[in-house]
Structure 1
Amino acid sequence: MDLYRVDPTRLKEAPFTTDDWVATLLRVLGRPAEERHGTRLRGFLFQEGGPLRLYMDSDEVPGVIGAEVQPGGALTALLAVLTSILDEEWRALEGVDDPHCRYVVDLTDW
């Protein structure tokens, strides 16, 4: 087996990809460092064309709520607003019939 010595000071950092963004988001929501006001990630679904649908539930909102997010957005802003926006049913997307949740809120602009 060949052994290659690598000098970390000479390596170029790889660019942050959409897959990296999704993995980071799911890791943070799946294992939160602190309790987010009783909000939990129940599941997720990759949508055709790029969006990611998060299925969340909360102690404050009955049932499961879908949150449509666009991978590659501002992760910190999305995490900050996610808990408080789930109960805003007026943000629900029209014409979305998803058997896994009560309604879907559009957070693709966050």
Structure 2
Amino acid sequence: MAWLLLALAIATEVLATSALKLSSGFTHHGWTIVVAAGYITSFVLLSQALKLQLEMGTAYAVWSGAGTAAIAIIGALFMGETITPLKIGGILLIIGGVVVLNLAGGH
């Protein structure tokens, strides 16, 4: 259950960050509400996942790393941002780091 909550926390954080770009500096009120609600929901879900069983370092690494990788990919696919081999390498390093943290975590 903790991992499901963490996955939902990542999804809402990615939604909020995507909406942050669409809010145009908080001038579009609808997207601004999505940003605020998304970040609040994400933090609540992350805190519940931590409360259940996940180690803080591992959970935060997965949350921030997966969110960062997802936003880089979304930016490239849907928001016209550039993707270079160096960026792809960085995303792969983030994913690799998260995997190592999960393998090294105590269970």
Is the TM-score greater than 0.5? no
RCO higher in 1 or 2 (8 Å CA, sep ≥ 6)? Answer: 2
Which entry has the higher C-alpha Rg, 1 or 2?
1
TM-score by length of 2: 0.28
The structure where helix makes up a greater share of residues is: 2
